[in-house]
Amino acid sequence: MFADFIPLFVIIAIALGLALTLLAAASWIGPKRPNKIKRTPYESGMDPIGSARERYSVKFYLVAMIFIVFDVEVVFMYPWAVSFHDFIDAGLVATVGVMTVVGLFVGILTLGLVYDIKKGGLEFD
């Protein structure tokens, strides 16, 4: 039984070994000439202003909820759309069935969206 898993462990060993080797090589071989600009945190080209540890408005979480609604929707809609032809080929029962299932799924997600909007998820002040 363990023999079946040996390739898996080999991959894990290679991945770990490669990552550690590269890190070690970089720290041995790489030149180190630090200066002030190199030491500043990377902020996509901007000069860093103040601490990054600020409090975010709780509104962002409601926006994140809306994102989840659409995100999850697409994750499940994509395989459905790809395999839809198979269901059409399989006949009317399968076509109606798969439409009902996906319709229910989207419907339930829409309820989540309605809840979020009604609770003020899109109102900014």
**Which of 114, 83, 78, 112 minimizes the C-alpha distance to 97?**
83
Phi-psi category of residue 69: left, alpha or beta, with phi > 0 → left and psi -120 to 50 → alpha? alpha
* Binding residues for other proteins restricted to 35-74, rule: CB under 8 A: none
Q: Running DSSP on this structure, what letter comes out for residue 46?
A: S
Coil, helix or strand at residue 1: coil
Least spacing, CB of residue 13 vs other proteins, in Å? 19
Least spacing, CB of residue 92 vs other proteins, in Å? 8
| 1 in contact with other proteins (CB under 8 A) | yes
Interatomic CA distance for residues 107 and 120, integer angstroms:
20
**Which of 71, 64, 72 minimizes the C-alpha distance to 116?**
64
With CB under 8 A as the rule, give the number of residues binding other proteins.
Answer: 20
- What is the pattern of x (binds other proteins, CB under 8 A) and - over residues 86-125? xx--xxxxx-xxx---------x--xx-xx--xx------
Least spacing, CB of residue 55 vs other proteins, in Å? 16
Interacting residues with other proteins (CB under 8 A): 1-2, 5, 86-87, 90-94, 96-98, 108, 111-112, 114-115, 118-119
